[in-house]
A and B are shown apart, each in its own frame.
Chain A
Amino acid sequence: GQNIDQPTEMTATEGAIVQINCTYQTSGFNGLFWYQQHAGEAPTFLSYNVLDGLEEKGRFSSFLSRSKGYSYLLLKELQMKDSASYLCAVRDRTNDYKLSFGAGTTVTVRA
């Protein structure tokens, strides 16, 4: 199975940068995902890493180190609408590609 850890809450100021860390332990790694979830809504896909390194997509970047079992999501130029829960999820080496989610990090952006 998977053991996925991420901080419970983070607060940052509008326009600032926030980094959300995620550590994982898995029996067979096949990709790490970041999803955004606003309260009462469905998770929406942000990023996918399967190889080590940084993936950049606009204001959001995600980094992966497979040897350390570590990833982070970097949110730049924070906007009020970025206030949400950010979910780290790991996919293992099974045929069904199911996701195992962390508990999520609630980010609050303040003016």
Chain B
Amino acid sequence: EPEVTQTPSHQVTQMGQEVILRCVPISNHLYFYWYRQILGQKVEFLVSFYNNEISEKSEIFDDQFSVERPDGSNFTLKIRSTKLEDSAMYFCASMGQGLHEQFFGPGTRLTVL
């Protein structure tokens, strides 16, 4: 069964450093998302991506964040200068055209020290 994959599973970084979180959505899906979940809190929407551009972003997704789909398979989230409060689980999700279900990847746990 097709699945969304994410790498790395765990990333530890120093405050101020740049990180890139990688995702491979399900092949032939057209809608892509990043969500995050701070430990013990709810899942929060960050950004959605469709037709090679951002379709919506939340207040969390400030100038420190960016997304890219550099080729036909990868979807990346970059945080330019990490802050302590960026520590969270980051989930990538994808959805096919005409479908309802968003399929979530296993997540990347980001720890900023």
Contacts and interface: CB of A to CB of B under 8 A. Distances in A.
Nearest to B44: A101
Interface residues of B, number: 22
Nearest to A43: B104
Contacts of A97: 31, 48, 95, 102
Contact of A45 (B31, B43, B44, B102): B102
Q: Is the interface of B mostly helix, strand, loop or mixed?
A: strand
Contacts, number: 56
B42 A101 contact: yes
A104 B101 contact: no
A49 B44 CA distance: 21
A96 B54 CA distance: 9
Interface of A: 31, 33, 37, 41-45, 48, 50, 87, 89, 94-104
Interface of B: 31, 33, 35, 41-45, 48, 50, 55-56, 91, 95, 100-107
